[in-house]
Structure 1
Amino acid sequence: MGGDGATWNRFAQSLIRRGRRVIVPDLRGHGRSGRAADYSFATFADDLEALLDRLRLTRVDLVGHSLGGHTATLVAQRRGDAVRKLVVEEAPLPLRPGDPPPVLGGAPSPRELLHALSSIVRHPRAAWAFDRSMTAPALTQFRTPDPAWWSALASVTADVLLVVGGLTGMVDRERLAAAVAGLPRSRVVAVDSGHSVHRDRFEEFRTAVEPFLDGL
């Protein structure tokens, strides 16, 4: 949340030099995309699926960060035949039934505030275009148990790379282990970074992700 496609420019150019076709959409309420009345996670996935259909893309690799990473997992769950490789960078994992509720309720955590402030400093144009009305519903959804997401992990047929940051990241390690156990073809790369690995530790991100996308 709060970023736009421009944060991917450096990585996109690197992939293009390797002969890849790269499409960088802004999620609804971000960057150049319009604001919306509905910011449910399902609608973000609906938009991405509609883009695949509009461009007649039948086989893709998806790379997503944070909310974008979660959106990518939903599409991979829905369209196992279309998603070949899935890279999920620092996407907060949904609560499982029985997980303790967050202490902060609906307020942003210190880690989330740190990331938001750093995003405003580094990408002021994107922060200006961001629809802040999505913040509360997005945090609520991440902090509400989602058993359907967990049960649908087994339907993901893509190879999955989970990129996680360090102590100031937002991925719960216990739920990460559960997600890996539920994904048939997955592995984890940990980088000593904050929430934005591709932004703050670009070379480490690129070195991990490009060979994965190449199939090595």
Structure 2
Amino acid sequence: MPQFDVDGARLAYDDEGPRDDAEVPLVFVHGWTANRHRWDHQTAHFSARRRVIRLDLRGHGESTGAGVPGIAHLARDVVALLDHLEVERCALVGHSMGGMIAQTVALAHPARVERMVLVNSIGRMTYSRGRGLLMAASTLVPFPLFVAANIKRAFGPGYPREEIRKHVRASAATPREVVMTLYGAMRAFDVLDRAGEISAPTLMVHGYHDVQLPVRQMLRLAKAYPDAVVRVLDAGHELPLEKPAELTGALDAFLTAKP
């Protein structure tokens, strides 16, 4: 497992697959409280024929770094990894918060993103006043309960309970400071009014049963994009875990389609 240092953190990453100048590397960015292994199915599939890069965001997985200022800082970490690996241009795939990071990279460095895939992600969190108060109040409960409540509701109907419990435990191992800071950062994230500036062909894949970031919010973002393809699958918020093969198939079709 290679690592590199950036701005007070040591980030773990994987860099696999053949180098081929004909295809840009595929870069995967995981979501809140997850790690790079969310992409195991996609990495195994794509690294057989192209370069695949994935990282643990600071404070997640095997990466260090407790102080996390927000989404823009994480986007700078991704760009720093591209610089470290001398990757000038890539196809960028982000899940949930990772999709927020991907959009931030695409807006700040448009020449570096050839294509983009947003998995269960949005451009702005919107909710009723009552839902907003409930979300704010949820931060006051004990940390393990806060994490468990958020992770359990991320999965769609029928996902095995023991698997959910395993992911709750893994998420709760993420430092509290990282979890809570980025929870606030996601609530504040808003690029909806700038989405039309992103010219890279974009695929948006979403779970129909996603209650964390409802599908209607993704569709609102899709309308703002000049060039977006939308796929909705029968799953919740955790598509990489719930429907790995279907997600990989959607990515494959999009990445191999002519621009």
Q: So what's the TM-score if we normalise by structure 1?
A: 0.85
> 2:166 maps to which residue?
121
Structure 2 residue 65 is matched with structure 1 residue 35: yes
> 1:13 maps to which residue?
44
CA contact (8 A) 1:3 1:123 kept: no
CA separation in 1, counterparts of 2:40 and 2:92? 15
CA contact (8 A) 1:3 1:119 kept: no
Return the offset for 1:82: 1.0
User: Which of 115, 127, 150 is matched with 1:112 structurally?
Assistant: 150
CA contact (8 A) 1:87 1:163 kept: yes
> 2:214 maps to which residue?
172
Could you give the per-residue CA deviations for residues 11-59 of structure 1, whole angstroms, max 9, x where no partner exists?
1010012x11001111111111112312311111110111111212111
The more displaced of 81-90 and 134-143 is 134-143
User: Which of 186, 210, 231 is matched with 1:142 structurally?
Assistant: 186
CA contact (8 A) 2:210 2:235 kept: yes
Structure 2 residue 257 is matched with structure 1 residue 215: yes
CA separation in 2, counterparts of 1:164 and 1:111? 21
Equivalent pairs counted in the alignment come to 210
CA separation in 1, counterparts of 2:78 and 2:39? 17
Q: Within 5 A, what are the aligned runs for 1:92-103?
A: 92-95=122-125, 100-101=128-129, 102-103=132-133
Could you give the per-residue CA deviations for residues 51-81 of structure 1, whole angstroms, max 9, x where no partner exists?
1112121110011111112111111111111
1:163 match: secondary structure: strand
CA contact (8 A) 2:206 2:218 kept: no
Q: 1:141 to 1:9 in 2, by over 3 A?
A: same
Could you give the per-residue CA deviations for residues 75-101 of structure 1, whole angstroms, max 9, x where no partner exists?
1111111101111111254236xx644
Return the offset for 1:169: 4.1
CA separation in 1, counterparts of 2:165 and 2:148? 15
Return the offset for 1:7: 2.1
Q: Within 5 A, what are the aligned runs for 1:181-200?
A: 181-200=223-242
2:203 match: secondary structure: strand
CA separation in 1, counterparts of 2:148 and 2:61? 24
Return the offset for 1:170: 2.5
CA contact (8 A) 1:92 1:170 kept: no
1:77 match: secondary structure: helix
Q: Which structure would you say has the larger Rg?
A: 2
Return the offset for 1:121: 0.7
2:88 match: secondary structure: coil
Q: Within 5 A, what are the aligned runs for 1:81-96?
A: 81-95=111-125
CA separation in 2, counterparts of 1:63 and 1:145? 18
Highest RCO, 1 vs 2 (Cα 8 Å, sep ≥ 6): 1
Q: So what's the TM-score if we normalise by structure 2?
A: 0.72
| Identical aligned residues as a percent | 25
Where in structure 2 are there 5+ consecutive unaligned residues? 1-31, 139-145, 156-160
Q: 1:145 to 1:4 in 2, by over 3 A?
A: closer
> 2:108 maps to which residue?
78
